[in-house]
Amino acid sequence: MIHVVFEEANIEALRKSFELDSALQGEIVSIQDDYAVGPITNSFSKEGAEDRRNWWREILKDGHYTGIADDGHLDDEKEVAELKIKLAENPEEVVWIWAAQNKHDVSGYYWLMSQLKDFQGRIFILYLNNLPFINEKGNIFYPTSLFQIQPKEFVKAKKLARPITLSEFEIDPDEWMKLARENKGVRLLEGGKKLVQKEYDYYDSEFLNFIPKEWTKGLKLFQQYYSKVKNTTGDAYLLWRLKQFIADGKVEMQGNMQNMKEFEVRLAGAEATQLIEAKEAEIL
């Protein structure tokens, strides 16, 4: 059995469940890229994959993530190629794809399963879609990420495993290709497996609202944003948007942007005035 997850944090959470149920034992493969953002046009071609790598290089340069080997998203195609080889060489091998109800996992699911149709019947999905689980305090909650689940709950969740149907192998890749043709940069989960797309600046206005007119540390800015905003995206993407604010003259920055603790930002004068006036208008 080969398990596939879409976040590094999910690996350890899933591995702990192996100690409770040996039937879950298996290799864990992590798909690293965040397919909920960035270009996905021709994503299964060499040219499309290279376009995406170049986009990530642009996102990651001169920022907090400088120093990650190349762009940090280079091995997903290799993981899929190796997965296909293992399935071809061992007819008894099966793949369990674990996905929580979030745009990151669902986007990764579409990207991955679209390449595995030849192994229909051996590819299983465990989708935690609006399902209740028990947290450490014994309360019921609805996880949005796999790592939020206790190991013993993974053992229960295995009952959700079902083969991806032939119909899904026909329809879901078409849905992914439809999104690719729209050529937009942000994907959001509306419910179930329904993804919708927005432009690259989708998060801008709300993120900009958290930047004050006084100097504030980058780390504090991001902590406040993530603690108060429900629909968010990753640090790297937001840092890229922050750099765009600075380039556009909307935000001023001082310090070393390669470290969240070593740079500060504030609204530029005109932008600060406009935001304050807009907020006052909302109150009135």
Asked if residue 279 has pLDDT above 80, the reply is no
Alpha carbons 182 and 36: distance in angstroms, whole number: 14
The pLDDT of residue 258 is: 84
Report percent pLDDT > 90 for the chain: 63
CB contact at 8 A, 37 and 237: yes
How far apart, in whole angstroms, are the C-alpha atoms of residue 254 and residue 67?
Answer: 21
Mean pLDDT, residues 108-137 taken together: 92
Task: Cite the beta strand spans of the chain per DSSP E.
Answer: 2-5, 27-30, 95-100, 123-128, 133-134, 140-141, 162-163, 186-191, 194-198, 216-217, 251-255, 263-267
Half-sphere CA count of 249, side-chain side, radius 13 A: 2
Alpha carbon dihedral 116, 118, 121, 127, in 10-degree steps, equals 10
Least confident among 72-86, 190-204, 225-239: 72-86
User: Strands, E, within 137-230: which ranges?
Assistant: 140-141, 162-163, 186-191, 194-198, 216-217
Query: Where do the structural domains in the chain lie, given as residue ranges?
Result: 2-179, 204-278
pLDDT at 67: 44
Alpha carbon 92 to its chain centroid, in Å, reads 31
Any idea what the Cα angle at residue 157 is, between residues 164 and 78, rounded to 5°? 50
Q: pLDDT: is 34 or 281 the higher one?
A: 34
Q: What is the residue type of 124?
A: F
pLDDT band at 68; cut points 50, 70, 90 = very low
Contact 138, 73 (CB under 8 A): no
What is residue 269's predicted lDDT score, i.e. its pLDDT? 83
Q: Which residue, chain included where needed, has tokens 């922050």?
A: 242
Higher pLDDT pick, 174 / 20: 174
Instruction: Find residue 54's DSSP bridge partners.
Output: none
Q: Residue 216 — pLDDT band, cuts 50, 70, 90? A: very high
Q: CA distances (Å), 43 to each of 5, 14, 170, in order? A: 19, 28, 18
Q: What is the pLDDT of residue 71?
A: 47
Query: What integer is the mean pLDDT of 257-280?
Result: 75
CATH class of 204-278: mainly alpha
198 - beta bridge partners?
186
Alpha-carbon gap, residue 97 to 57, rounded angstroms: 28
Average pLDDT over residues 92-117: 96
Residue 65, pLDDT above cutoff 60: no
d(CA 56, CA 63): 12
At 214 the pLDDT is 96
Residue 73 half-sphere exposure toward CB, CA atoms < 13 A = 23
